[in-house]
Amino acid sequence: FIAIGHTPSTKLFAGQLNLDDSGYIVTDEKSGTSVFGVFAAGDVGGPLRKIMRDATYDIPNFNSHLYAFSTTR
């Protein structure tokens, strides 16, 4: 397994979303960010081991999060 790109490209979100000291977007256990309705997935959400863990969660559960968000509006 080869990992590249250990520096997240999240400068675009600085001041809009909470970022940790390494520049990753801070997420909750359901990949939600500090802004309601905005989710982070993939390499912007954390280091490689977190990405591997989240990948098993993000894809199957994205639709349920989207539905929950759409029904709160």
Q: Please tell me the predicted confidence (pLDDT) of residue 30.
A: 79
Q: Please tell me the predicted confidence (pLDDT) of residue 1.
A: 44
pLDDT in tens, 7-52: 788 989 999 999 999 898 998 877 889 999 898 877 787 765 555 5
Q: Please tell me the predicted confidence (pLDDT) of residue 35.
A: 95
What phi-psi label fits residue 22: left (phi over 0), alpha (psi between -120 and 50 degrees) or beta?
A: alpha
- Amino acid occupying residue 37: G
Q: Please tell me the predicted confidence (pLDDT) of residue 65.
A: 65
Is a pLDDT exceeding 70 seen at residue 3?
A: no
DSSP 29-56: TTSB-SSTT-B--GGGGSSHHHHHHHHH
pTM to 2 decimal places: 0.62
